[in-house]
Amino acid sequence: MVTGASSGIGAAAARLFAAQGANVVLMARREGRLRELAADIGAAGGTAVSVPGDVTESTDVERAVATAVDTFGSLDAAFNNAGWGMMATPLHELADDVYDRIMDVNVRGVWNCLRHQIPVLLSQGRGGAVVNTCSTAGQFATGAVAPYVAAKHAVLGLTRAAAAEYGDRGIRVNAL
């Protein structure tokens, strides 16, 4: 399962996973681009299904996880890559709605993914792997992007907590 799969790192990762033989569930908000990517992966000999949705909506993530299980029989790995940044804006000039969107997509999105992926991985009894996109902003602060830095620090914290909680059950959770 790859979130944020309609472009950039998500699309490139989905192509690579499929080229390596993985069956891929593509999730992102841009339905047309997801369909195109699934078709491209199929034309290259891979297998992918698209699930349009928003990671900030728990039911959308739940549907994508269910699609993986229903279509391919399991969920073995996930790349929680969906994210949303911003133009460099001084903290004191940032609007509430921009702050809220950054936190929702980057933190709530990863939270929603983990809380729907982990129960499936646990129920399968053979572990699995989850990678959350954290960015260097999760470790280093720069000016004029404070909410993004805060969100990525939160993603790193969620990742570390999930790794500590589920690692002994064979579920690896890492940040990229």
Does an H or E element contain 23, and which? strand 23-28
Taking the whole predicted model, whether its pTM rises above 0.85 is answered as yes
Report, at the CATH architecture level, how domain 2-175 is classified.
Answer: 3-Layer(aba) Sandwich (3.40)
State pLDDT tens for residues 72-121.
999 999 999 999 988 899 999 999 999 999 999 999 999 999 999 999 99
Rounded Cα distance, 134 and 112, in Å: 15
Task: Give the rounded distance of the alpha carbon of 45 from its chain centre.
Answer: 24
**H-helix segments, 84-145:** 96-103, 109-124
Alpha carbon distances (Å) from 83 to 133, 134, 155, 173: 8, 9, 11, 18
Query: Which pLDDT does position 87 carry in this prediction?
Result: 85
Residue-range domain boundaries for the chain: 2-175
Q: Name the region of 9 (left: φ>0; alpha: ψ -120 to 50; beta: rest).
A: alpha
State pLDDT tens for residues 8-54.
999 999 999 999 999 999 999 999 999 999 999 999 999 999 999 99
Residues in contact with 161: Cβ distance below 8 Å, sequence separation at least 6, in sequence order: none
Positions marked catalytic:
148
